[in-house]
Amino acid sequence: MADGRKNATTIKVLPTRLAVWRPTAATFPYPAQRRTIIDMPHPLPISRITLHQLAIPLRKPFRHATAQRAVAEPVIVAIELADHTVGYGETHPRSYVTGETIDDVLATIRGLFVPILLETHPKNFGQAIEIAAGLPTHNPGGRVITAARAAVELALLDAYSRAFGRSLEAVAGWLGEPKSGPPGSRNTVRFGGVLSAGNPKHTPWSIRKMRLLRLPHFKLKVGDDSDDDRLHAAVQTLRHPLSTGKVALRLDANGAWDLDRAAEKLRRWEDQPITCVEQPLPKGDPAIWGDLATRTCLPLMADESLVTPDDAEALIVHHGAAWFNIRISKNGGLIPAMRLAATARRHGIDLQLGCMVGETSILSAAARWFLQTVPGIRFAEGNFGSFLLADDVTRKSLRFALGGRWNPMTGHGLGITIDEDRLRRLAIQHPTAIPF
């Protein structure tokens, strides 16, 4: 079986034009690392897309009100250009977040994104960014496809950033949002810990273990009958650093409550040192967010209810969310995430960069590029690396350091090196190669 995984399943895609430019040995007379913003002598098309389905065990199962997870199941997209440069993207479909499953994502990439990418042939990185920015967030039937989009967009930006020798910081410059670009939130934000739902007796031990890493903020999962005991355990364990402002505590219900239950719970906790409450309500009518905001003094953070720009506008109109939780995989990639952050800043909404459980170093690298180019991020989650994953797809796994500190990414592309052997070993089936 191990040998079988090395052989990709090939899907033949017929070009939509009569002629597709193909490079010759003389087409690229200088190495990729020397290419700059200057136009290439020829357009640089894509030659192949490969889809990888992986299964990576977690070191410890993670549970919240909506799901329990012991294995990460990322979809990895590899885009190879005509000069053999390869870029990688990653996504984690969640049906309860964007409505997409793994099968949906794979079908969307094959049926919708591949025909678009067949026509992709930029001559500089600015054109590549413009193509990435124009990728759809909905299919022709109006269904959200942001999880699929995220993997394709990241792979596209990674590949062309490497090929044209440009930093991903150029994406922020292309968007032109005020104050965007380095250092972003580099000097102000650190990564924190996330406390799984479960037996409240385990909460103090989990916090003490994370406090050994001097993490500055924590998110506690709630949404079941043990909420009061779990919250009490967390507050008691963090009593001193909470009272001195050295740590912050947030709650996340993952949409577990209806309006009345949420109002009752949050009113009961208003005397607790809680910074905000994430996704207290299920996805649906944004108007009830405004209703809940009038029934509690605890600030509300939107997550599953914040997928598209239309979601953001609806929450703003109804004054329902004081916080936005942006997740690159959920929101469609780096560019939509940056645009959502800009929308939030214009309306005085606080920002958190979240993550999907089980992200590899591909999304961890994208998160760092986001943080070092987007200002005003208050909290960051993710970059757990080997703290959470039993394995990774890169030669060096990215994870935060003591105190939740992190180093910015440098170089071209995402700044990571994929380990092809690990990619094959972690695959659950043959990769699907789509030559152009």
Q: Which two tokens stand for residue 242?
A: 């909470």
**Sign of CA pseudo-dihedral 382, 301, 135, 112:** positive
**164 close to 129: Cβ distance less than 8 angstroms:** no
Pairing of strands 300-302, 277-278: parallel
- Residue 11: per-residue pLDDT: 61
Q: Which two tokens stand for residue 337?
A: 């995430």
pLDDT, tens only, 331-369: 999 999 999 999 999 999 999 999 999 999 999 999 999
The model scores a pTM over 0.85: yes
- Residue 1: per-residue pLDDT: 40
| Residues forming a β-bridge with 300 | 277
pLDDT, tens only, 249-283: 999 999 999 999 999 999 999 999 999 999 999 99
Question: Which residue from 285, 297, 229, 276 is spatially nearest to 258, judged by alpha carbons?
Answer: 285
Q: Is the pLDDT of residue 18 over 50?
A: no
**Measured between alpha carbons, how far is 123 from 40 in angstroms, rounded to an integer?**
5
- Residue 329: per-residue pLDDT: 98
Q: Is the pLDDT of residue 224 over 50?
A: yes
11 phi, psi to nearest 5 deg? -110, 125
Q: Which residue has the higher pLDDT, 401 or 26?
A: 401
pLDDT-derived band at 7 (thresholds 50, 70, 90) equals: low
CA 399 to each of CA 110, 320, 367, 385: distance values in angstroms, whole numbers, following the listed order: 32, 33, 11, 5
Q: How many CA atoms lie within 13 A of 222 on its CB side?
A: 29
Q: Which residues, 6 or more positions from 220, have their beta carbon under 8 angstroms from its beta carbon?
A: 195, 203, 230, 231, 234, 249, 250, 251, 252
Instruction: Please report, to the nearest 10 degrees, the dihedral formed by the alpha carbons of residues 144, 193, 377, 278 taken in order.
Output: 50
pLDDT-derived band at 64 (thresholds 50, 70, 90) equals: confident
Question: Which residue from 309, 256, 310 is spatially nearest to 283, judged by alpha carbons?
Answer: 256
Q: How many residues does the chain have?
A: 436
Q: Give the neighbor-by-neighbor strand order of the sheet with 75-81.
A: 9-10, 432-435, 46-53, 75-81, 86-91
**Measured between alpha carbons, how far is 119 from 303 in angstroms, rounded to an integer?**
34
The helix or strand, by DSSP H or E, that contains position 163, with its residue range, turns out to be: helix 146-164
pLDDT, tens only, 156-194: 999 999 999 999 999 999 999 988 999 999 999 999 999
**Measured between alpha carbons, how far is 269 from 98 in angstroms, rounded to an integer?**
30
Which residue ranges form the domains of the chain, and what is each CATH number?
4-22+34-173+419-435 (3.30.390.10), 175-404 (3.20.20.120)
Peptide bond into 182 cis (omega under 30): no
- Residue 65: per-residue pLDDT: 63
